[in-house]
Structure 1
């Protein structure tokens, strides 16, 4: 499912226009980005939790040459599915 398919599905399910559904999705995405940028988590009971975790610097290998390289530390986004979501796909 791509973004346009999601917009159509939400509009149909919620009984709203596609334009309103697109605004809602865009607002959710933008709010999620801003919240995660502040290293705060978003918890949607029954759906899941979005959070930011710091990945430490580490040593890796270049697969072509086998040379060791340094991989810098960085923040990564994590998603942990909630119980209701996990049960719905089981």
Structure 2
């Protein structure tokens, strides 16, 4: 059991090191390479699907009117692109079991 509530890059690299027997430096480079690939795809407008895990989806939100909750003053919210994550059914099932 891990000591923290957050899984870090270093912990992922350590797990790869132990499972595959490659060096820590190689496993960390592998993790960094995968994350860089995902970032590049998302920044160029592509969705990222990891079978059995889930999909990182990009969605464009249009301009809309929001309201300051303290003052009640209406302010325009600019259009933007947001990223969402949709877990696969396999991941949902596994989480429900634990």
**TM bin (shorter chain):** 0.7 to 0.9
1:44 match: 50
Q: TM-score, normalised by structure 2?
A: 0.80
How far, CA to CA, are the matches of 1:85 and 1:13 in structure 2? Answer: 21
Q: Structure 1 residue runs of 4+, over 3 Å off?
A: none
1:19 match: 25
Q: CA deviation at 1:42?
A: 1.7
How far, CA to CA, are the matches of 1:69 and 1:13 in structure 2? Answer: 52
How far, CA to CA, are the matches of 1:58 and 1:50 in structure 2? Answer: 24
2:17 match: secondary structure: helix
Computed over aligned residues only, the root mean square deviation of the Cα atoms, in angstroms, reads 1.4
For this pair of structures, how many residues does the alignment match? Answer: 90
1:70 match: 76
How far, CA to CA, are the matches of 2:20 and 2:76 in structure 1? Answer: 49
1:35 match: 41
Q: CA deviation at 1:72?
A: 0.6
Matched, 1:83 2:89: yes
